Amino acid sequence: MKRTIIHVFHIGAGIDVVNQAIATIEGLQNWWSKDTSGSAAKDNIIQFRFGDVFKPDMKVIENTENRVQWECVAGEKEWLGDKFTFFITDKKGSVSMKFTQEYANEITEEQFGTFNFNWGYYLNSLKQYCETGKGNPWYNKPNK
C-alpha cells in the first residue's frame, strides 16, 4: 500500500523565519542534518547526509514563501520518487505548518512507522529552531 505521512503543527515565529529554516541550506542544517549541502533553489539538488546510514538527495520542485516541495531523486530506494511538501500559512506573527511525504513506492508498516516517528522528531526540531534559534539536527559526533 502506498502511504502518506501528514504532520500539522503551529510555529510561534514569523513566516520569514520559518521560510529561511526550510528553504535555505543553512536553515536545513540547523534542524534536520548538519551535513546538508547543495542548493535549495528551484530545480537544484540538496544532499542530506546522516553518516553512512541515510543519504537522500532531493530535487527542489518548488521554493516559495508559502510552499517548499522536494522530490527524492537518489540515495534512498524507499524514498525514490517521494514528494515532500511544506505548506506554510501565515497567521500574522506565527505560522501553521502542514508537512506531507507522499510515498511513490510500497513500504512496510514498520518502515512507515519509523519514518513517521523520525519526521515527528525532526519537525519538532524545526519548530524549536524557529522559535528559539536552536534545533536538534542530526550531526556526526567526532570520536574522542
C-alpha cell at 38: 547543495
Contacts of 33 (CB under 8 A, 6+ apart): 48, 49, 50, 137, 138, 139
User: Domain range spanning residue 24?
Assistant: 4-132
The answer to the question of residue 138 being in a domain is no
The answer to the question of residue 16 being in a domain is yes
Reading the chain (144 residues) residue by residue, the pLDDT tens digits are 689 999 999 999 999 999 999 999 999 999 999 999 999 999 999 999 999 899 999 999 999 999 999 999 999 999 999 999 999 999 998 999 999 999 999 999 999 999 999 999 999 999 999 999 999 999 876 554
Q: How many domains does the chain have?
A: 1
Q: What is the CATH number of the domain that holds 108?
A: 3.30.530.20
Interior/surface letters 86-97, b for 16+ CB within 10 angstroms, e for the rest: bebeeeeebbeb
Task: State residue 144's pLDDT score.
Answer: 47
The answer to the question of residue 94 being in a domain is yes
The answer to the question of residue 140 being in a domain is no
- Residue 127: left if φ>0, alpha if ψ -120 to 50, beta else—which one? alpha
The answer to the question of residue 78 being in a domain is yes
State which amino acid sits at residue 43: D
pTM, entire model: 0.94
C-alpha to C-alpha distance for 63 and 73, rounded to whole angstroms: 17
Task: State residue 2's pLDDT score.
Answer: 83
